[in-house]
Amino acid sequence: MKKALYEAIKEDLTERQQEMIIMYFFDGMNMQQIADELGVTKGNVSITIRRGLRRIKNSKKVKKFIETA
């Protein structure tokens, strides 16, 4: 699953979505910290992460893994 998830992050997301999702889930930063670091609003971070997660969920790689699991 980790490989499918990593591939979905790297191949299916925009650079901005990748950056924010990595900061949030892997670096343990909260949305306000990410917003401050990147010079955007907390709302922008929230929307970007939510859209990125939706793209991961709909990724063919992730769907294929789920079907075979």
Q: What is the mean pLDDT of each run of 10 residues along the chain (69 residues)?
A: 76 94 94 98 98 88 69
Q: Which CATH number applies to 2-68?
A: 1.10.10.10
Q: Rounded to whole angstroms, how far apart are CA atoms 65 and 69? A: 6
In this prediction, residue 18 carries a pLDDT of: 95
Alpha-helical (H) ranges within 1-69 are: 2-12, 15-21, 31-38, 42-57, 60-68
Q: Can you give the pTM of this predicted structure? A: 0.82
Q: Is the dihedral of CA 69, 3, 57, 35 positive or negative?
A: positive
Amino acid, res. 68: T
In this prediction, residue 1 carries a pLDDT of: 58
